[in-house]
């Protein structure tokens, strides 16, 4: 019996010890170590919350310590907010008596939402410090965020709380029509669009050189019937693309710089007209340029489209004349011309290194399932001095319906099509009606495919293989082409070793 009592009290002691939640700690001595001495939160627009950033705090000593206070220097007025090991403290600003065990660490997660008026007017930086302890033991980690002012365009809110809608393809979507004084986008401030910004019928939207447009999720531009879009970018002298017109998402953090599908599309209604696109860089959309208008020829020059979740350019029975276009990383096709139309592309690089096996660089068809009628004539699809390449086995696809015309021709193009086939549509060496001077399955050796740098040098299979008859005098960057010209959108150059 005595043994049972001893066992009972021993078990009780163990249980009570294991439930203990307090620790014998010593006060912090100011010897904390940090994963970084400054936390840089990437650029954000005014009043738009940032991503969450991490700071790790280490206790290298052999003692369990108590940090009397962890706080933001600006206190409850700070535009930063934190969690410390999952605790929210006093509004995410002040934390008292934080325990940190010996040889252990804790995580601090930091966010901000600030206005441009909160920033330093000389450099637009908003700053603060995280303070650990005080007095002689005070340690600080700096916080820095660049706040960018912008013009915000968004749907109005109806009295019932719903958002303003516009109709696109017979569907009501969150959106609004731009007023006359909103139809010119300048380079004075970036623009941030929520929902679809509609260009009213019989109006023209203009984008001046150097303008920047950022789209929130499920947002874009809709060009209505008889409306026009004019993008008037110009040659830039640096990699900052200072004179390009740039369309991208509204998350400015580097983490989001190459994530596809962050926003919707630039949609051109059937009946929209007279579109000119010059020196545009578009990235991270769902569909970059979505054309549904056979009425007028669309002019696209010196334009780059990257990281689109579905298509870089999707054209349904449209008319496009394209020069110096570069497209890469698209989930379905970099260029897809369906349901007929008329197309001419010269000195273009249609590449697709999407990580998959069923995507194409170029897709052509004269049919569309469910349309009335289901076929439309493809009256022209000409590719001159182009590169059609990518990571899939075959990067060129034809979908022909015998009930409508299907006219196409590739002249002096580098093409990837690795499968052996007896299909008469893909006889690249013997079918002179559709294929002339085709370089088949040779690597163009781009400078850096992962960074969408589709430039080539003298070691490329595309070097000096173009036909002088189709030459565009300058490349996508404004560099003068030599004779014979290189294939694709870029004139070759030497790269740094």
With a pLDDT cut of 90, the percent of the chain lying above it is: 82
Using only the alpha carbons of the chain, give its radius of gyration.
30
> Residue 218 pLDDT > 90, yes or no?
yes
- Look over the chain and give the mean of its residue pLDDT values, rounded to a whole number: 92
Beta bridge pairs of residue 34: 57
Give the tokens for residue 81: 């907010």
pLDDT in tens, 326-385: 999 999 999 999 999 999 999 999 999 999 888 999 999 999 998 899 999 999 999 999
Q: What are phi and psi of 76, to 5 degrees?
A: -70, -15
Per-residue pLDDT band for 293 (boundaries 50, 70, 90) equals confident
Beta bridge pairs of residue 430: none
Q: What is the DSSP string of 51-67?
A: --EEEEEEE-SSS-EEE
Q: What are phi and psi of 210, to 5 degrees?
A: 85, 0
Beta bridge pairs of residue 141: 130
Give the tokens for residue 383: 């590719």
Give yes or no for a contact between 260 and 331, defined as CB atoms under 8 angstroms apart. Answer: yes
What confidence score (pLDDT) does residue 476 get?
A: 97
pLDDT in tens, 112-134: 999 999 999 888 899 999 999 99
pLDDT in tens, 15-40: 444 443 445 788 888 899 999 999 99
What confidence score (pLDDT) does residue 122 get?
A: 83
What confidence score (pLDDT) does residue 7 get?
A: 47
The mean pLDDT of 137-141, rounded to a whole number, is: 95
What confidence score (pLDDT) does residue 65 get?
A: 94
Per-residue pLDDT band for 497 (boundaries 50, 70, 90) equals low
pLDDT in tens, 319-329: 999 999 999 99
CATH class of the region 26-148: mainly beta
């Amino acid at each position: 019996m005595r043994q049972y009592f001893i066992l009972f009290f021993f078990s009780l002691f163990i249980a009570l010890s294991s439930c203990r939640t307090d620790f014998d700690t010593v006060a912090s001595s100011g010897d904390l170590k940090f994963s970084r001495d400054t936390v840089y939160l990437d650029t954000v627009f005014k009043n738009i919350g940032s991503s969450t950033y991490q700071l790790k705090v280490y206790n290298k000593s052999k003692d369990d310590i108590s940090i009397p206070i962890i706080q933001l220097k600006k206190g409850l007025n700070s535009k930063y907010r934190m969690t410390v090991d999952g605790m929210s403290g006093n509004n995410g600003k002040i934390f008292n008596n934080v325990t940190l065990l010996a040889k252990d660490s804790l995580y601090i997660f930091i966010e901000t939402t600030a206005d441009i008026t909160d920033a330093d007017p000389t450099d637009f930086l908003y700053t603060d410090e995280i303070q650990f302890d005080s007095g002689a033991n005070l340690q600080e980690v700096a916080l820095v965020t660049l706040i960018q002012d912008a013009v915000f365009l968004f749907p109005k809110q109806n009295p019932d709380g719903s958002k303003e809608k516009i109709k696109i393809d017979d569907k009501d979507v969150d959106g609004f029509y731009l007023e006359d004084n909103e139809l010119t986008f300048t380079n004075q401030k970036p623009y941030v669009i929520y929902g679809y910004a509609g260009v009213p019928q019989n109006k023209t939207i203009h984008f001046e050189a150097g303008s920047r447009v950022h789209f929130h999720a499920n947002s874009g531009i809709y060009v209505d019937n008889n409306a026009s879009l004019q993008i008037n970018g110009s040659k830039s002298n640096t990699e900052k693309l200072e004179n390009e017109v740039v369309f991208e998402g509204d998350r400015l953090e580097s983490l989001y710089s190459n994530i596809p599908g962050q926003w919707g599309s630039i949609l051109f209604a059937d009946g929209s007209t007279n579109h000119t696109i010059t020196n545009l860089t578009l990235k991270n959309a769902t569909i970059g340029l979505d054309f549904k208008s056979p009425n007028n020829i669309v002019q696209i020059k010196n334009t780059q489209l990257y990281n689109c979740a579905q298509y870089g350019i999707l054209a349904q029975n449209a008319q496009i004349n394209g020069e110096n276009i570069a497209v890469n990383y698209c989930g379905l096709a970099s260029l897809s011309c369906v349901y007929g139309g008329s197309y001419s592309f010269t000195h273009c690089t249609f590449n697709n290194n999407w990580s998959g096996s069923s995507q194409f660089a170029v897709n052509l068809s004269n049919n569309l399932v469910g349309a009335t009628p289901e076929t439309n004539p493809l009256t022209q699809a000409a590719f001159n001095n182009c590169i059609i390449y990518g990571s899939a086995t075959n990067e060129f696809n034809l979908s022909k319906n015998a009930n409508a015309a299907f006219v196409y021709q590739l002249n002096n193009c580098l093409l990837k099509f690795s499968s052996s086939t007896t299909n008469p549509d893909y006889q690249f060496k013997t079918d002179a009606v559709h294929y002339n001077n085709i370089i088949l399955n040779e690597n163009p050796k781009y400078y850096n495919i992962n960074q969408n740098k589709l430039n080539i040098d003298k070691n490329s299979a595309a070097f000096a293989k173009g036909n002088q008859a189709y030459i565009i005098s300058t490349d996508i960057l404004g560099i003068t082409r030599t004779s014979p010209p290189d294939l694709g959108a870029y004139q070759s150059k030497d790269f740094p070793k």
